[in-house]
Amino acid sequence: MTRALTLLSVSFFAALASARLDCKVPHLGGGQDDGPAINAAFKRCAKNGKVVLDKYYSVDSLLFTTGLDDVEIELSGTVQYTPDIAKWSPQSYYLTYQNATTFWFLSGNNIHLYGGGTIDGNGQVWWDTLRTSGSTGTAGGSSTTFARPVPLTVGNATNVVIENIFEIGSPFWNNFVYQSSNVTYNNITINAVSYSSSPTANSGTMAPLPKFSVAEIYILDGWDIYRSDGVTITNSWINNDDDCVSFKPNSTNIIVSNLWCNGSHGVSVGSLGQYAGETDIVANVTVHNVSMNNAQNGARIKVFGGNPSPTSTAGGGTGFVKNVTFSDYKVTNVDNPVIIDQCYDTAADVCAQYPSTLSISDVHFINITGTSSGKEGDVVVDIECSAECVDITATGTSITSPKGASVYVCANIESEDQLDFNCTSPSS
Ligand SMILES: *[C@@H]1O[C@H](CO)[C@@H](O)[C@H](O)[C@H]1NC(C)=O
Ligand SMILES: *[C@@H]1O[C@H](CO)[C@@H](O)[C@H](O)[C@H]1NC(C)=O
Ligand SMILES: *[C@@H]1O[C@H](CO)[C@@H](O)[C@H](O)[C@H]1NC(C)=O
Ligand SMILES: *[C@@H]1O[C@H](CO)[C@@H](O)[C@H](O)[C@H]1NC(C)=O
Ligand SMILES: *[C@@H]1O[C@H](CO)[C@@H](O)[C@H](O)[C@H]1NC(C)=O
Ligand SMILES: *[C@@H]1O[C@H](CO)[C@@H](O)[C@H](O)[C@H]1NC(C)=O
Ligand SMILES: *[C@@H]1O[C@H](CO)[C@@H](O)[C@H](O)[C@H]1NC(C)=O
Ligand SMILES: *[C@@H]1O[C@H](CO)[C@@H](O)[C@H](O)[C@H]1NC(C)=O
Ligand SMILES: *[C@@H]1O[C@H](CO)[C@@H](O)[C@H](O)[C@H]1NC(C)=O
Ligand SMILES: *[C@@H]1O[C@H](CO)[C@@H](O)[C@H](O)[C@H]1NC(C)=O
Ligand SMILES: *[C@@H]1O[C@H](CO)[C@@H](O)[C@H](O)[C@H]1NC(C)=O
């Protein structure tokens, strides 16, 4: 071959290799199931491909898109799951944490999902059923008759970017980051609003249920992160009724910034330490520039107390929470703007005898400002450890309560002198 021809063929093959295979997904219409066509497109375009979801898709079968390698997903249309409880409860994909199941398991390396489109969990029927059945059912796959799936799970995945999409009507957690690393969410809008006259997913005006609070039964967390490292969540708007973002066991190297959260349970570490014999780690978490509105909590850490039983499922786990910073936090109408509870869901006498064996250290509250709701009276900060918490600091704290001069409750904080407020001991 001549030199020119060689060069030509080299560049020809280079161009071929970089050409992205396009997989446009058709939609059937008439309420027919588009799930099989979506799965087929992901199979066809699994390597160096681009899957285009630019239509309205009615999805009645599990989306299981795994083994992806360098895949773009343009979601400019709508993926809407069918509101078929009898079908989805058994067929949604079971994950090993808290019996969660999912409508869509997205897995692989180098995945970019974007496009201005919508994932619609069609949550109304799930919320209504939860409400009218008068019980929590189960959160996930421990029931095959009523398992509420997560609309999008990034699982066993690395190097993932998800941006510019809407997520509405989730029956359960909106996003689950499961056993993954280097995952970024940017510009996500999450909304869960009920349109039925009786149950509303996130309104404080709903009649209380006999045993459970609204949030306890709906559990519409924005994000749950589990066994994952290097997760970024930024520039997002969340209107929900449970944790805005939740760091579950083994969430490390996390950055959360520029969020507007409404009606939630706050940005929350935990709960951790629930299971004896298990080690839970949350480390290197930065939460910066959050506007927290009409919420139960602002910045929260919750860890179970200790337990003498080696098989306890109500505390006694070990591990640590270390290097967690909450900064530039604006709270408005929040019940507990700052809260650390190291005796979470555990009786006080149990904690007194068996303090938590999951340590909390190196936690910093910087510039937490705003107003509490007054639900906890004049208490605006409540940081109580059952074992001693080390290197907890607060600077720039400025939180007022509508119920009087602010009170800061602390217990077992080694570094009380590093807090910019005066602590009061718990009353009980
Ligand atoms: C998961 O399911 C098992 C079996 O039904 C049940 O015992 C357990 O309480 C469930 N866990 C959660 C967190 O729902
Ligand atoms: C995810 O990874 C775990 C642990 O490596 C493995 O057991 C499981 O089968 C994987 N699941 C999927 C759906 O890839
Ligand atoms: C993380 O993922 C992004 C997006 O896929 C990629 O550009 C970046 O190189 C990854 N970082 C590491 C450390 O692998
Ligand atoms: C955020 O995403 C929406 C579509 O979901 C888009 O219209 C908007 O331009 C995006 N914002 C930025 C700053 O990219
Ligand atoms: C802080 O977050 C808000 C969203 O709550 C955003 O509008 C604003 O631009 C962010 N500020 C900075 C400096 O990034
Ligand atoms: C914020 O939450 C409050 C109380 O839950 C609700 O009344 C209000 O409509 C929500 N705001 C938005 C913009 O969704
Ligand atoms: C968390 O990570 C630690 C250290 O790698 C490990 O021992 C522990 O089993 C993990 N815990 C969970 C819940 O995955
Ligand atoms: C936390 O970050 C430090 C500094 O980057 C790093 O050395 C350490 O390994 C990280 N810890 C975890 C648990 O990832
Ligand atoms: C604390 O975590 C942040 C990331 O959230 C990281 O940049 C920093 O290096 C960590 N510091 C230490 C001392 O590990
Ligand atoms: C806290 O507020 C002070 C005063 O407004 C400002 O100088 C500082 O940069 C802020 N710190 C953070 C981490 O936002
Ligand atoms: C804490 O109490 C001391 C003694 O009563 C007082 O001098 C100090 O100003 C108080 N500090 C703050 C931040 O309120």
Catalytic residues: 265
Q: Whose Cα sits closest to atom 8 in ligand 7?
A: 279
Helix (H, G, I), strand (E, B) or coil at 14: helix
Q: Give me the amino acid identity at 36.
A: P
Beta carbons of 53 and 73 less than 8 angstroms apart: yes
CA 302/CA 319 separation, integer angstroms: 13
pLDDT of residue 146: 84
pLDDT of residue 153 exceeding 90, the answer is yes
pLDDT of residue 205: 39
pLDDT interval class at 206 (50, 70, 90): very low
Would the CB of 260 count as within 6 Å of ligand 5? Answer: yes
Percent of the chain with pLDDT over 70: 87
Q: Whose Cα sits closest to atom 2 in ligand 9?
A: 284
pLDDT of residue 1: 43
pLDDT interval class at 109 (50, 70, 90): very high
CA 7/CA 10 separation, integer angstroms: 5
Cα–Cα nearest to 180, from 95, 121, 117: 95
Would the CB of 159 count as within 6 Å of ligand 3? Answer: yes
Half-sphere exposure of 159 (CA within 13 A, CB side): 9
The residues lining ligand 8, judged by C-beta closer than 6 Å to any ligand atom, are: 252-253, 283-284
Q: pTM surpassing 0.75?
A: yes
* Residues 6+ positions from 286 with CB-CB distance below 8 Å: 254, 255, 256, 257, 325, 327
Beta carbons of 368 and 337 less than 8 angstroms apart: yes
CA of 425 to the centre of ligand 4 (A): 47
Read off the pLDDT of residues 336-377 as tens digits, 9 standing for 90 and up. 999 999 999 999 999 999 999 999 999 999 999 999 999 999
- The tokens for 192 are 């869960």
Q: Which ligand 9 atom minimizes the distance to the CA of 283?
A: 2
**Domain 266-428 classified CATH 2.160.20.10?**
yes
CA 70/CA 368 separation, integer angstroms: 40
The residues lining ligand 1, judged by C-beta closer than 6 Å to any ligand atom, are: 98-99, 138-139, 142
CA 346/CA 359 separation, integer angstroms: 16
Pocket test for ligand 9, best of 184, 232, 323 (most atoms within 8 A of CB): 323
Cα–Cα nearest to 292, from 328, 320, 316: 328
Would the CB of 422 count as within 6 Å of ligand 11? Answer: yes
CA of 420 to the centre of ligand 11 (A): 9
Q: Which ligand 3 atom minimizes the distance to the CA of 112?
A: 5
pLDDT of residue 127: 83
pLDDT of residue 143: 72
pLDDT of residue 382: 98
Q: What angle do CA 37, 41, 47 make, to 5 degrees?
A: 165
Pocket test for ligand 8, best of 182, 252, 320 (most atoms within 8 A of CB): 252
Same-fold call for 19-219 versus 266-428? yes
CA 260/CA 298 separation, integer angstroms: 12
Q: Which ligand 6 atom minimizes the distance to the CA of 202?
A: 5
Would the CB of 179 count as within 6 Å of ligand 2? Answer: yes
CA 69/CA 305 separation, integer angstroms: 43
Q: Domain extents for the chain?
A: 19-219, 266-428
pLDDT of residue 82 exceeding 90, the answer is yes
Would the CB of 158 count as within 6 Å of ligand 4? Answer: no
| Third-level CATH fold of 19-219 | Pectate Lyase C-like (2.160.20)
CA 249/CA 246 separation, integer angstroms: 10
pLDDT interval class at 126 (50, 70, 90): confident
Start-to-end CA span in the chain (Å): 89
CA 43/CA 33 separation, integer angstroms: 17
Cα–Cα nearest to 263, from 323, 213, 303: 213
Q: What angle do CA 337, 339, 345 make, to 5 degrees?
A: 130
Pocket test for ligand 2, best of 101, 156, 177, 179 (most atoms within 8 A of CB): 156
pLDDT of residue 169 exceeding 80, the answer is yes
pLDDT of residue 59 exceeding 70, the answer is yes
* Residues 6+ positions from 411 with CB-CB distance below 8 Å: 383, 384, 385, 425, 426
b/e 398-416 (16+ beta carbons within 10 angstroms → b): ebbbebeebbbbbbbbeee
Would the CB of 116 count as within 6 Å of ligand 4? Answer: yes
Q: Whose Cα sits closest to atom 2 in ligand 11?
A: 422
Helix (H, G, I), strand (E, B) or coil at 217: helix
CA 121/CA 381 separation, integer angstroms: 36
CA of 386 to the centre of ligand 3 (A): 39
Q: Give me the amino acid identity at 213.
A: S
Pocket test for ligand 7, best of 250, 303, 320 (most atoms within 8 A of CB): 250
